[in-house]
Amino acid sequence: MSIRVLVVDDSAFMRKVITQMINAEPDLTVVDTARNGEDALKKLATLAVDVVTLDVEMPVMDGLTALKGIMERHGLPVIMLSSLTKRSSQVTMKALSLGAIDFVAKPAGSISLRIEDVSDEVTAKIRTAAKAKVQKLRPSSPPRSDTAATLGPVRPTAASSGDVGLHKHGSSRVVVAVGSSTGGPKAVEEVLLHLPVNLPAVVLVTQHMPAGFTRSFAERLHGVSPLNVKEAQDGDWLRDGCAFIAPGDYHMVVGPDKRIQLNQEPPLQFLRPAVDITMKSLPKVFGSRIVGVVLTGMGRDGAAGMAAIKACGGHTIAQDKATSTIYSMPRVVFENGHADYVLPIQRVAEGIIRLVNSLV
C-alpha cells in the first residue's frame, strides 16, 4: 500500500516539483496539495494522510502554526522544508522541538537544477517518517520500558566544590557522548533541559544534521538548557558544564590534549558527522570515565561507538522503544548487549547525572 502524502507549500512551482518527485516512486502517492497552513488543516480534516511535507515560510498561516495544528488535531508525521537562511534554520529547530520528524534543506536557486539530490532525500525521509511514532500529546507519565538494568531512583547531585571534575587547563575528567538521528533534536533538547549547570562533565552531541543548521540547533539548546551549549569549533577545550554540538558536515573527535578536533574525513555509513567516530575517539583520552548515550534514530550509527565505550569500562544508556520516534539506533545497541540501561527519554538526564556523579 502506498504511503499517502500531503504536500504543503505556498509556491505552485514547488508543489508541482515535489509532487512529481514523490509520485515517481511506486510506494509513494501525493493525495493532495495545499497552498498554506490554513488550507492544509482544512484538507486534513477529510483526507487520509500518512505523512505531511510542510514549508517553513508561508503566508496566511506559517509552517510553525500549521505544525502545531497538525500535531494537536492529527498527530501526523511532518517533514519540514526549509531554506538555508538563518531565520529558516531557527524556525526549523523550533519545529523539530514541537514534534516535526525531520526536515529537508531546499537547494539555493531553482530546485529543478538539483532535482535528483533533493528527490532522493525527500523520498527517503518520507519513508522514514511513515514508520515514526508520533503522539498528539505528551504522555502524562513516563512510558514503561524494557530495561537492561534497573537504574533505581535518581536525583541531581551538586558537583563537589574545588577542582572535582577538572583537569589540566580546566578540562573535564568525565565525558558524556550523545548520539541521535531522526527525532533526535527533540530528544536531545529533553535531555539537556534537565542537566544541571554544575554537571561535573562535558557533553558532546553528535546529531545527524546538515551544515547550516547545527549552529541554530546549538543556539536553541543554549537558550533552554542550564548548560553552556555551542556549536563545536576546532580547538575548543572540553569543560565541565558545557555541551558541544558537532557541526554539520564535520566529524568531531577529541584529541589527547582534551581539545575538540574537527575533520572532513570520508562519511561513515554515508554520515558526517558520525556518532561512532566521536565515541571511538574517547576511550584513549578518558579511559572508563565515559557515559555513552544513543537516542532515537534510523540506522546503526553509534553501535560500534557504544561497544568501544563498554569495552573500556564506561557506562551506556539507550533510549527505550516506547519513547523513540524511530527505534533503530538504540535497538541495535540494546540487541548487541551494549546498553547498561534502557530508559524512557524523560529519565535519560537523570541516568546521566547518576552515572556522572559515580565517576567523579
**Residue 96: per-residue pLDDT:** 93
3-130 in CATH: which number? 3.40.50.2300
Torsion 57-51-210-94 (CA) sign: positive
Share of the chain above pLDDT 70, in %: 87
Pairing of strands 242-245, 251-254: unpaired
What's the whole-model pTM score?
Answer: 0.88
What mean pLDDT comes out for the span 322-339? Answer: 97
Secondary structure letter of residue 217 according to DSSP: H
In this prediction, residue 115 carries a pLDDT of 53
Residue 9, C-alpha cell as written in the block: 507549500
168-359 is classed in which CATH architecture? 3-Layer(aba) Sandwich (3.40)
Confidence bin at 174 (pLDDT 50/70/90)? very high
Stretch 256-262: mean pLDDT? 97
pLDDT at 163 over 50: no
Q: Phi, psi at residue 113, to the nearest 5°?
A: -75, -20
* Confidence tier at 87 by pLDDT (50, 70, 90): confident
Residue 141 has pLDDT above 90, yes or no: no
The pLDDT of residue 322 is above 80: yes
Of the pLDDT bands very low, low, confident and very high (cuts 50, 70, 90), residue 143 is very low
Q: Average pLDDT of 163-187?
A: 78
pLDDT (0 to 100) of residue 279: 98
Digit-coded pLDDT (tens) for 16-72:
999 999 999 999 999 999 999 999 999 999 999 999 999 988 888 888 999 999 999
Please give the Cα distance from 182 to 328 (Å, whole number).
10
Contacts of 37 (CB under 8 A, 6+ apart): 8, 54, 58, 60, 61, 62, 63, 65, 66, 67, 69
What residue ranges of the chain are covered by domains with CATH 3.40.50.2300?
3-130
* Active-site residue set: 181, 208, 301
User: How do 228-231 and 202-207 pair as beta strands?
Assistant: unpaired
CA distance 41 to 49: 12
pLDDT (average), residues 142-162: 40
Model confidence at 150: pLDDT above 80:
no
Quick: pLDDT tens for 182-226: 999 999 999 999 999 999 999 999 999 998 899 999 999 999 999
- Apex CA 359: angle with CA 357 and CA 360, to 5°? 70
Given a cut of 70, whether residue 139 has pLDDT beyond it is no
Confidence of residue 84 (pLDDT cuts 50, 70, 90): low
Query: In this model, does residue 160 exceed pLDDT 70?
Result: no
Mean pLDDT of the chain: 88
- pLDDT higher than threshold 80 for residue 155: no
90-101 residue pLDDT tens: 999 999 998 999
Could you please report the per-residue DSSP string of 101-149? -EEEEPPSS-GGGGHHHHHHHHHHHHHHHHT----SS--SSPPP---SS
All CATH 3.40.50.180 domain ranges of the chain, comma separated, are 168-359
Residue 64's φ and ψ, nearest 5 degrees, are -65, -45
Q: Is the pLDDT of residue 140 over 70?
A: no
Strands 251-254, 260-263: pairing is: antiparallel
Instruction: With cut-offs at 50, 70 and 90, classify the pLDDT of residue 114.
Output: low
